[in-house]
Amino acid sequence: MRNVHLWAALSVFAFCSSLFADQVVLKNGDRLTGIITKSDDKDLLIKTEFAGEITVQWLAVQEISSTQPLHVVLSNGKTMVGSVTTADGNLAVTTAANGTVNVSKGDVTALRSDAEQITYENSLHPRLLQGWAGGANVGFALTGGNSETKSLAVAFTADRKTLTDDIALYANTVYAANDAPGAVPHTTASADQGGARYSRNIGPLLFAYGSADFQTNALQDLNLRSVLGGGLGFHAIKGDRTTLDFLGGLNYTKENYTTLSRNFAALTLGEELSHKLGASTLVTQKLYFFPDLSDTGEYRGTFNFGSVTKLSKWLGWQNAFGYIYVTNPPPATPPLKKNDIILTTGLNISFTH
């Protein structure tokens, strides 16, 4: 008798749990039970008890029944809050203020739970220290005995994107030395790059930006190159997996070499591409061309390529390649080369804040 009572209690508990859970019925008849987290006009995310988070196509959803209040965002910009059910192919939202309101499923652009709504509202006006994503990798090598060398490679990226603006930071450093007695040159590599860019949307596809970039290269006798610029950009592709931007503007370049210093204005012409390969790899590419406005025919070009493959939530494999070409390095004996290459690779420690 005791076992009968136990099974009866468990059956009642399971039945009551299903009553207080959201349900999603797909067009093929499949039924999902759990908590609806969020949805846009493409996908719906529901958190189930045993299968975890499941994403289904929004077009495949036949019926919705939520016991929790959902924030229903319509194409006209209005938002209603209440439990949601499906009636005659439309959504019936039971609100506290206006009772039950029927809306067309095609007019719904987003569904959010209370927790997701708070996250969304915070993303509209995040504090400066919030919303950052990026990572860094550090590589070090040391030899002794028959050879005495040391090398250090560091790459760092950080990005903070909101609905209205974007802050991007980067840095690359390569240093290598030959410590063997009488080795010439002692320093075999010493180059640094770093900079920041701020972009702000001024339309769905148009944005304005300001940037600051800094470079040093001991083997090219470059003590410091400072490039301050700004201009306009265009989002040619702005998708979830791929973005392609074209930028144009002006910059002021100040170069300080060991043998000379020069300042000049130049154009900024560039493009930036990012693409997600599968679920774990992000590829980025940047190409810039800087024609000198004061000395026609002289220019500087830069090319950067990078990739990060996630191995876990916080660990990945990062590659960074940088190429810089200058048409007019200062005169020297022996002559300085016009191009420089920086390549770093290694484990990446990612962060999100």
User: What's the maximum distance between 2 C-alpha atoms anywhere in the chain?
Assistant: 100
- Show the domains of the chain with their CATH numbers: 2-124 (no CATH), 132-352 (2.40.230.20)
Residue 197 near residue 231 (C-beta atoms within 8 A): no
Q: Which one, of 351, 339, 342, 352, lies nearest residue 306 by Cα?
A: 342
DSSP state of 201: E
Looking at residue 171, its pLDDT comes to: 92
Vertex 138: Cα angle to 134 and 140 (nearest 5): 175
Give the span between the Cα atoms of 139 and 347, in whole angstroms.
8
Give the span between the Cα atoms of 314 and 212, in whole angstroms.
29
Give the span between the Cα atoms of 142 and 137, in whole angstroms.
17
Residue 208 near residue 229 (C-beta atoms within 8 A): no
DSSP state of 82: E
Point out the least confidently predicted range of 133-142, 211-220, 222-231, 242-251: 133-142
The helix/strand/coil state of 130 is coil
Residues above pLDDT 70, as percent of the chain? 94
Cα-trace Rg, the chain:
28
Encode 180-198: b = buried (16+ Cβ within 10 Å), e = exposed.
eeeeeeeeebbbbbebebe
Q: Does residue 28 register a pLDDT over 80?
A: yes
Residue 224 near residue 256 (C-beta atoms within 8 A): yes
Q: Which amino acid is at 12?
A: V
- What number of CA atoms fall less than 13 Å from residue 250's CA on the CB side? 5
Q: Which one, of 169, 274, 245, lies nearest residue 213 by Cα?
A: 169
pLDDT in tens, 299-350: 999 999 999 998 988 899 988 888 999 998 888 878 888 988 888 888 889 8
Q: Which residue has the higher pLDDT, 295 or 214?
A: 214
Q: Does residue 257 register a pLDDT over 70?
A: yes
Full DSSP string of 210-253: EEEEEEEEGGGTEEEEEEEEEEEEEEEEE-SSEEEEEEEEEEEE
Give the span between the Cα atoms of 307 and 278, in whole angstroms.
13
Q: Take residue 172 and report the two structure tokens written for it.
A: 């690359």
- Region of residue 115 (phi > 0: left; psi between -120 and 50: alpha; otherwise: beta): alpha
Pairing verdict, β 261-277 and 79-87: unpaired
124 membership: H or E segment, kind and range: helix 114-124
Q: Does residue 237 register a pLDDT over 50?
A: yes
Q: Which one, of 128, 151, 152, lies nearest residue 138 by Cα?
A: 152
Q: Does residue 39 register a pLDDT over 70?
A: yes
pLDDT in tens, 52-83: 888 898 888 888 899 889 999 998 888 999 99
Q: How confident is the model at residue 21 (pLDDT cuts 50, 70, 90)?
A: confident
Q: Does residue 262 register a pLDDT over 90?
A: yes
The residue behind tokens 């760092």 is 156
Vertex 31: Cα angle to 30 and 33 (nearest 5): 150
Point out the least confidently predicted range of 37-41, 245-249, 296-300: 37-41
H, E, C per residue of 134-194? EEEEEEEEECCCCCCEEEEEEEEEEEEECCCEEEEEEEEEEEEEECCCCCCCCEEEEEEEE
Q: Does residue 252 register a pLDDT over 80?
A: yes
Q: Does residue 17 register a pLDDT over 70?
A: no
DSSP state of 98: T
Q: Which one, of 291, 287, 284, 204, lies nearest residue 247 by Cα?
A: 287
Q: Does residue 107 register a pLDDT over 50?
A: yes
